[in-house]
Structure 1
Amino acid sequence: MDREVPKNKKDHLVPACIIGNFSKYRDLQNGGRNNKVVVKIKGKDKTFETRAENTLYAKGEYDSVIDDLYGRRVTDGLWDEYESDLPALVDAFESNSFLPWEMYINTLVPYVASLFVRDQGYTQWVNSQMNNLMGVIATPETIQFNRQVFYSDTKLDILVYSIDILFDEEGRFILPDRGISFFDASYDYWRSDRFVAYSDKSLNGSKVWLTKSNGCLTPPSYLIPLSSKVVVKLTPREFLYASPKGDNIPVRYINITDQIIKVEISNFGTESFVYKKAVDYLNEGLAQGARRTMIAAEGETLNTLDFYDISDEDFIGNKLGMTALIRGKRGDSATEILKFYKNFKENAGYSMVAKNGECLLRVLNVRSHIKPTASTLNSHGMDNLYPFSMYRSFISNMRV
């Protein structure tokens, strides 16, 4: 087929139905993309209010001549596999419900993977890579091809992450324009999990490796705000959990509405701390994902936040580029994890968390699949390594 497809259409970098969830008008009829949200632009003194459909978009961001060959918008069409199901996903998390397997694999995984490549920063990153390698600017076709490849690969990367839902009853979470942000492993207050521990008593996910010269070697957690009340936190831990029958994906709910946390500031042995509202701490983490725009339900929330100076090359290449799965064995790792999740009748080699003889969780040790590798740790030398424990005490509720 060779038919010219309309160009320069309004391409939302984050789905308009998600943007509309950061509004105090969500209960009104004809909501979603028509909801009004509060916007803060980098370099501007004042916030302003606009409809969700009128922000976080770029005209023609996903255009290329490939569209004309296929007679449809190819890259934009990738998002069709999950966008219509996003409201149901948000409803499930806002009601602290179970996460069915189908919703996980068909909606959450592709949505998160798409955020790695939907943003304009991804275009700038591809251009910088092409310029560094060949001294040229990437064509739209090269950019869209790379988007499709990275989107497909990232779907596999997402499978190794455990799912936490951070919940605020008052709806104060923000949405950065990239749609995704991160917590450095040494700053993720909710990183560890108490269900499984190592033989040395350290909890699942609590081990963090820092170096005295090159920063953190342990991959970050990713923050995906779905509404002003819900942030999905994807956390790489050594032990992955599955439900007894494989019908749901375990989700840990953490209500931080009134939580005050003790934030430790460590500088390789010298420690101090401050107390913060957990919501404020999380919003500071979310703000790292803002290139030039933040969204919230109330302007007061945005007035307390600053923009971070994180370049596209750093954010795409280093923050999003530091996914947990070891690249060389990504395919094999994903296959094993998928088998673990679904083939619950073949439990040979899997551990279990049980109570009164009843299986509560199935457990898979994925340490050999995730970074940092033993060779990476050895290459830095013990004198340069600084092991750090991210064990913190908080209340959570696991839905299996």
Structure 2
Amino acid sequence: MRTSITEVTESPAALDVVAGVDTHADTHHVAILSVTGARLGDFQIPATTAGYEQVLTYTRSFGNVRLVGIEGTSSYGAGLSRYLMAQHVDIREIVRPRRAQRRRGKSDPIDAYAAAQQALAEPEALPLAKTGDGLVEQIRVLLTVRRSAIKARVAVIRQIKSLLVTAPESVRTRWAGSSDRDVIENLAATRPGAASASVSAATAHALRRLARRHQYLSIEINELEEELRDLVAKAAPAMLATKGYGVITTATLLVTAGSNPERLRSEASFAALCGASPIPASSGKTNRFRLNRGGDRQANWALHQIALVRLSTDQRTKDYTARLRANGKSKKDVLRCLKRAIAREAFHLLVHPKPVPATDDLRALRLQRGVTLVRAAISIGAEPARISELERGRRPNAELASTYRAWLTAALHE
């Protein structure tokens, strides 16, 4: 362990100290500053539980630990962050400096002291670190696997189409005009001859393997979505029951906010985190805002998907859009305003969730009345499959549940 200590005249018992950590895959470098900015020491530790204990022991040897600034709390510093949080140490996420700002060079001690100085100078401006634990962390890892499976499946269908373009005439004409689903199902069921027999046979073998890979990935994606549905229903039932929020979009917003969404200071900060905050784009007589191209792009995608769903299914959203268009807003401006409004709503659903209406008794109420799913759905203007999903708790919707319950209750008292 490398150690460099500068002697100070203050008594350790009287000191408040701040630490900065430069994180790497195998080792972390820690630097200690007093609250007056004096350098007390820096050292390197292994990125293990024993190393994390050394960080706390060594830092506390100089006095009371006021704050620890860590680079990469969601990557290389995740383990150290979780350990320090468990020990009730206040930590902050350090924003890595731009290369142009590194006037003094770069090394592990320099970066560690820079992290400590940033934590000391602007503790309130630095973001609180995610806890990286609990249901949201489970959702994050499953969502990561699902995204990679989606990309792999897209790559497979592209390969199939590419091979069909250049395939021998006998193979190409066989699948011409078929839908993607039919091509996958039929290719997976083919039984071509030996691949060494001809180009056609080798191509048929390749296509069958790709089709079966596509099917396997589809099964994996469906299994992941079912697992995510259960976790999301536990982590954010109020958001999942709100119109427009699906399993994947809700999971994405949960991961962006983290297991401790209270770390978000305001709904405006959450909107900026999602890349949905308005950016001024005015010049001369032009006074306007543009879409924000920063922030978490996955969260921005989730807001975009929710906006599209509401634009097609929600009357209030349609009325809101019509008012904006009547005031001269372009389609991009309308979408920006809509995503900003959804970000505001999502923030409150995460930080101040409301109780979700119970739906486990709706089927019993319907059977008590003696009506079918089709009749109930027609009466409230919904699809029978949607009512069935609501009764089984597979697709919660607070607004639809309230409407359905009111109709059933009124009918029972007639």
Q: Compute the TM-score of the two structures, normalised by the length of structure 2.
A: 0.27
Q: Compute the TM-score of the two structures, normalised by the length of structure 1.
A: 0.27
Give the structure with higher Rg (CA).
2
